[in-house]
Amino acid sequence: MTTIVRSREMIRAHYEKVFGSKVPEYENLSGALSEKYFDLKSSIPRSRVLDLGYGNGKYTIDALRSGYNVDAVDLVDKSIFKSSVPKELLPNLNLIECDLSDFQFYDGHDITLCIDVLHFLPKSIARRLIKDVEKSTNKGGGTLFRVFSNIERKTKEGATLKFEDEAEFKTEELISFLYNTFQKWGDIRFTISKYSEHDQVKKHTYFRSDVLEFVAVNR
């Protein structure tokens, strides 16, 4: 069975095209925000959000509109998202163009979001990032991770598709790592569901996985 491996550079180029509206989007990137995000926001009336892998910025924009300051990090050219942000929100936005493998955490965030991005990273980096979120989120603050695990990705020709050095998390190991890292926070909730994506033209299911939504509040 053939395996095709996509590099980090290819991931960046793909998302720059998608966010620049140059290719059709099958990933539901502009779909509804997670209910767990709204729960988290309502229980943490503070001031600063860190959005890791902000993508087309739907969480960042919502947080800015809700009055938060936002530090938003992504691999892609930041001018693509910046040009779509309403001018009045820009003063409260700090856009950071950076590979999360190189991102240096700094304290002071009340909500840290890591949504649909961890699966791209090498396992050692993803684990370091989870630990850094635990250390750098303010007391009284919280975090939401949404992570794909047990991933099966196929091209329409049937080849297996992988990203360079991707974590390939198994669902159980991911839960156990998150749980162990955040257990001292005292308030942890998670759900697991099934997820799939389809090419709307060729009707081919190219992505299947579990999706873990993990929320912790640092009481």
Ligand X SMILES: C[S@@+](CC[C@H](N)C(=O)[O-])C[C@H]1O[C@@H](n2cnc3c(N)ncnc32)[C@H](O)[C@@H]1O
Residues of the shown chain interacting with ligand X in the complex, contacts defined by CB under 6 A: 11, 15, 27, 29, 53-56, 58, 74-76, 99-101, 115-117, 120-121
Give 134 or 213: the residue with its C-beta nearer to ligand X: 213
Give 101 or 171: the residue with its C-beta nearer to ligand X: 101
The residue type of 14 is H
CB 70 within 8 A of CB 49: yes
Query: Cα 174 vs. chain centroid, distance in angstroms?
Result: 15
Give 117 or 178: the residue with its C-beta nearer to ligand X: 117
* Least Cβ distance, residue 63 to ligand X (angstroms): 12
CB 100 within 8 A of CB 117: yes
* Least Cβ distance, residue 15 to ligand X (angstroms): 4
Alpha carbon distance, N-terminus to C-terminus of the chain: 49
Cα dihedral 113, 103, 139, 62 sign: negative
Residue in the shown chain whose Cβ atom is closest to ligand X: 55
* Least Cβ distance, residue 43 to ligand X (angstroms): 20
Give 58 or 162: the residue with its C-beta nearer to ligand X: 58
Q: Tally Cβ neighbours within 10 Å of residue 125.
A: 18
* Least Cβ distance, residue 202 to ligand X (angstroms): 20
